[in-house]
Structure 1
Amino acid sequence: MAGESGIAEVDADDFARRYSMRAANIMWLLGAGASAAAGVPTAGEMIWEFKQQLFLSQRKVSAKSVADLSNPYVRAQLQSFVDSAGNLPAPDTPTEYADLFEAVWPNEGDRRTYLDGKLKGAKPSYGHIALATLMKAGLCKIVWTTNFDALVADACAKVFDSTSALTSIHLEGQSGIDEIFRSERWPMEVKLHGDFRSRRLKNTGDELRQQDAKLGRVLQDTCLRSGLVVVGYSGRDDSVMDTLVAAAKQKGAFPSGLFWLHRGDSQPLPRVTDLIATAAANGIDAAVVRIDNFEEVMRDLIRLTTGLDTTILDAFASERKRVSAVPIPSGTRGYPVVRLNALPLQTIPTHCRRVQCKINGHAEVRAAVEAAGTNILVTRVKAGVLAYGSDADVRKTFEPFGISEFDLHPIESHRMRFDSGERGLLREAVSRALARTLKLRLVHRRHTDLLFPADVNDALWSDLKSLVKQLSGVVSGHPELRWFEGIGVRLDWAGDRLWLTVEPRTVFEGATQENKAAATDFARERTVRRYNKQLNDLIAYWAGVLSNGGEELRALNIGAGIDAVFKLGGDTAFSRRIRS
C-alpha cells in the first residue's frame, strides 16, 4: 500500500508477521528514538534544547520564559530567533542537529560532557531487553546504532547474565573490523557515532576517517546478505544514508527486506523516502511502517515469535510496571492529577462478519467496495475479509470473488493491544459512528482520523464557537485553502482497555504540497496561545460531545446485518504520581 508520500507503507501488524518469518536474517539499526523510553532524549528533543541555549545566551532573558519546550508558543519564539540569525540551519535539514550542536558548544569536550549528562542514569527499557532476548535466541545477530548509550550492552548483560556475550565495535580505537565480522562473533553491536555524534567528520584525523569509511563499507556489505529494520532514527546523517542508498542500488541487497519504522502521521525525511523508493525500484521488499514507539513494536514481535526464553523479559516487565488504576478524585481538595485527552470505550463490538474469498490485500478489498458501491466497513487480515454492514451488501461486494465461507469473527481483546487489522477496523467504525451521530465531517487518515462540524452555522456548535471564536475560514493569501476547527481521534490501548484519544486540531481542505507551509504556519499561529486552561476547556467540551450523553454510537445504523456499536465514557483519563 502506498502512503501519502507515494512510497510503500505496511501496517505494524503486517510488519510483525513478516518479521516473525525472517528474524534470523534481519539486522537492526537503532537511533536515539529507540532509547527514549530509557530516559535518553531524542535528537529532535536535543535540537530544541540547542535552540533554547542559543536564545538564552544571546537574548539574555529569563530561562523561565522559554522553559517549556513542548509549548507551541515557546517553539515558535525559538524558531523565529534561529531564522533571524541567518547562519543557522533550517528545520528538518540533514545537518540541523550537528550544526546547532557545534553552534552551542564548539568544543568537542563540552559536547561530550553534555552527552554524558544526558546518558547518566539511563537504564534499558522493555524494548532493549526484548531485543537482547532475540539476540540470545539467535534471531538478531547484528545491531547497528548511531547512539552513544550502552543500553544494548546493558540489556545483553542482563539477559545473557554475562558482560562478554556481546561483541562491541566502535569507531574510536577499534581495529580488525573485517576479521571480527569474518569470525562471526555474534551477537554484535556496531556503533556508528563517529561522524556527527561524537565529533564532526571534518574535524577527525585520517585514521578515524579511514575507520569510518571501513565501517561504512562493512555496513554496505552486510546489507547485501541481510535484511534491515530501522527504528528511532530520523535519517539525518549523510554518511549513514549514503551507505544505505548505495546498498539499495545493489542487485540482491536486503534479501529479507528493508523496513523503516516511523512514529506519528508526519512524513519521513526526503532522504528516507528516497531510500525506500530506490530499494523498491530494485525489487527489494521495502516499506515504511507507522508505529507508536519502540516498546510496542517489540511487544508485538515477541508475541509472534515462538520458542523464546522470555523468563528475564517477563520478570523485567513485571518489575517495571508502574501504572495501576486509581479511584476518580472527588471533592475540591483531591490529590493532584494530570488530565489526559483520552475517553474510555465502555462498549465495543464483540464480533464482525468474516468472509473467505479469492481476493488479495487491503487495497483490493477497498477497491471491491468502491466498485460495488456498498455502504460497508472492511479490512483484510489473515483470517479473511472482516466487515460491518448489511449481509446483502457484504455478499454483493465479494460474490464476484467466490465466497467460500460467510460467518462470524470474534473481536478479541488481546488483538486490541497492538495496531492489528481488527483495531484498525474498530477505529474506522468509531470514527464513522461519531461523524454520523454528531453531525461531523470525517477525513480518514492512516493513523488519526479528522472530525469537524458539518455545518459551522448550526446552533449545535455555539459552545465550541464561544471557546475558539471562529469555526472556519480561508487562509489569507490562499483562497483555495479552507480551514475548520476540529479534532483528531485515534484508538490507543492502556490499562487493559481501549481509549479514544482526542486532540484539538485545525483541519484543512484544499491542502497541496504548494500551500503546505502556509497551512502549517496558520495552524501554529492559531493555536500557539492555547495554554493549559484553554486546552482543558476544549478537551472538556469535546468529551461531553463525543460521549453522546452515554447513548449508543452506531457506525452504520442498519436494520439487518452486523453494525459496529460503541459507548464512550464522558470522563477523560487522568494520571497521578505513583507513591513509592
Structure 2
Amino acid sequence: MTNGEHSPKEWSEKGLLAEIRKLHQQGRSLAFILGAGASASSGILTGGKLAYDWLQEWHQRECLEPDTDLQSWAREQLENPTFSTHQDAKPAYQDAASHYSTIFERRFAGDYTSGYAALEDAMEDAAPSVGYSILAKILDETHHRVVVSTNFDNLVADALAIHARRQPLIVGHEALAGFARPQLRRPLVAKIHRDLHLAPKNDREGVNTLGQGWGNSLSQLFQYSTPLVLGYGGNDGSLMGFLNDLPAGHIPGRLFWCYRDEPPAQNVLATIAKHSGVIVKISGFDEFM
C-alpha cells in the first residue's frame, strides 16, 4: 500500500504479533475492538450476510414489478447507483454491509420487535470459537482486560464463563456507560450498540449516533489502552465517528487495525493514519488469536 498522509503503513501479521509481545512485556495494555467478523467462526452471520438476506426479503415483499431484479431494485431503494449484488471479485453481500442499518429499518419497518427476534434466532446456536476461548484467557490472566464491541452477541461472556476465574463486567446499555472505567480489576465488555436483549441498535440513527455517556467512558479507556481492531469494518457512524473525532495523540502508541479480505475504506484509512496506526492483513480471528 502506498504510504501517505491519509494512508497508514501496512505491517505483516508476524510483525504485529512481535510488537504486541513487546508492549505486553512493557506493561502496556490493549483494548480489543471487536466487530461482526470476529463472530463468524462461532456460527453467527456477519452484518453483511444478514443485511443481504433481509434485502432479499424486503425485495420479495415490496417489489411490485415481478421482472425487476434485486440489484436494480436495490439501487433505487438505497439511492446508490453503484450498489451490486453480483460482483466477480467480491462476495454478493459485501455492498449490503455498508447499508446494514438502512436495510434493517426498511425490512422491519413498523415492527422492530420482529427484527430483534430475527437477531436472536441468528445467534441462538452460536458457541465461542477457539479465538474467543483464547481471548477469555487473555482477559482473565493478563492486564489486557478491555473489550469494546459493536456486536450484540454474548460470546465474550460465554467464553469467560467457561475459561475464566472472574466474572466480567458487561456494560450492555449506554445508561450504564459510566461503569466502563479504565483500570478495573476484572474483564470489561463494553457493548456500544447494546446487548441483544436490550433493544440493540440497528436503525440508522442508533448505529450512527454514539449513545450518551459512551464518549467520556471510551475516551478514558483509550487513554490507558491501545486499541486492537479485529473483525470490525468501520461501517457505523457511532464508534467510527468517535475514533475520527478523537484528538491525534490521545491513544497511547498507535492504533492497530486488522482486516481479512479487503483493506478498510478510504475514510477509515484516514482515521487510522490520524492515530499513527497501521493495518495488518490476517487470515482470520481464530487464527490470529
* Alignment TM-score, normalising by the size of structure 2: 0.82
Residues 3 and 58 (structure 1), Cα distance of their counterparts in 2 relative to 1, 3 Å cut: farther
User: Which residue identity is paired with 1:258?
Assistant: L
CA distance in 1: counterparts of 2:146 and 2:59, whole angstroms: 41
Tell me if 1:25 matches 2:29: yes
Using the alignment, how far apart are the partners of 2:114 and 2:229 within structure 1? 29
Which residue identity does 2:258 align to in structure 1? Answer: L
The 1-side partners of 2:169 and 2:145 are apart by 10
**In 2 relative to 1, CA 216–201 (structure 1 residues): closer, same or farther, beyond 3 Å?**
farther
Structure 1 residue 199: Cα displacement: 4.6
Over the matched positions of the two proteins, sequence identity in percent amounts to 26
Alignment of 1:271-282 (within 5 A): 271-280=267-276
Give the whole-Å Cα distance in 1 for the aligned partners of 2:48 and 2:182.
Answer: 36
- Give 3-state SS (helix, strand or coil) of 1:229's partner: strand
Matched, 1:295 2:286: yes
**Partners of 2:171 and 2:190 within 8 A in 1:** yes
How many angstroms apart in 1 are the aligned matches of 2:191 and 2:105?
A: 21
Equivalent pairs, count:
268
Contact 1:26/1:256 (8 A) holds in 2: no
Please identify runs of 4+ aligned residues in structure 1 that moved more than 2 A.
1-7, 58-62, 77-81, 84-95, 177-180, 194-204
AA partner of residue 235 (structure 1)? G
Q: Deviations over 1:289-318 (max 9, x none)?
A: 1111101111xxxxxxxxxxxxxxxxxxxx
| Structure-2 separation of matches of 1:198 and 1:46 | 15
Name the amino acid aligned to 1:213. Q
Write the mapping of 1:308-327 to structure 2, written as runs, cut at 5 A: none
The structure carrying a bigger strand percent of its residues is: 1
Relative distance call for 1:203 and 1:215 in structure 2 (3 A) is closer
Alignment match of 1:80 (pick from 72, 94, 100): 72
Per-residue CA deviation, residues 90-134 of structure 1 (Å, 9 max, x unaligned), is 645986110011111112211101100111110000110010111
Q: Rate the CA distance shift 1:203–1:8 in 2: closer, same or farther, 3 A.
A: closer
CA distance in 2 between counterparts of 1:151 and 1:194 reads 14
Instruction: Tell me, in whole angstroms, the C-alpha distance in 1 between the residues paired with 2:75 and 2:31.
Output: 39
The residue aligned with 1:235 is 234
Please tell me whether the aligned partners of residues 94 and 238 of structure 1 are also in contact (alpha carbons under 8 angstroms).
no
1:314-368 CA distances to partner (integer Å, 9 max, x unpaired)? Answer: xxxxxxxxxxxxxxxxxxxxxxxxxxxxxxxxxxxxxxxxxxxxxxxxxxxxxxx
Letter in 1 for 2:283: D
Residues 34 and 294, structure 1, Cα contact 8 Å, conserved in 2? yes
**Residue deviations 1:244-293 (CA, integer Å, cap 9, x gap):** 1222x243x221321111112x331223111112122xxxxx11111111
Residues 183 and 229 of structure 1, relative CA distance in 2, 3 Å threshold: closer
Return the offset for 1:81: 2.2
User: How do residues 175-254 of structure 1 correspond to structure 2 at under 5 angstroms?
Assistant: 175=176, 177-179=177-179, 181=181, 184-194=184-194, 197-200=200-203, 202=205, 212-247=211-246, 249-251=247-249, 253-254=250-251
Displacement of 1:212: 1.5
From the superposition, tell whether residues 138 and 246 of structure 1 become closer, same or farther in structure 2 (CA, over 3 Å). same
Residues 526-565 of structure 1 correspond to what in structure 2 (within 5 A)? Answer: none
Whether the 8 Å contact between 1:261 and 1:289 is mirrored in structure 2 is: yes
Q: Secondary structure at the match of 1:124?
A: coil
TM-score by structure 1 length? 0.42
Q: CA 1:270–1:126 in structure 2 vs 1: closer, same or farther (change >3 Å)?
A: same
Larger radius of gyration: 1
- Aligned CA RMSD, in angstroms, stands at 3.1
C-alpha spacing 1:219/1:90, structure 2 compared with 1 (3 Å):
farther
Contact preservation (8 Å) 2:102, 2:204: no
Structure 1 residue 121 corresponds to structure 2 residue 125 = yes
Structure 1 gaps, min length 5 = 63-76, 281-285, 299-580
Distance 1:238 1:200 in 2: 11
Structure of greater relative contact order (alpha carbons < 8 Å, 6+ residues apart): 2
Aligned equivalent of 1:134, options 129, 132, 138:
138
Q: Distance in 2 between matches of 1:14 and 1:131?
A: 20
Q: CA deviation at 1:47?
A: 2.0
1:50 aligns with 2:54: yes
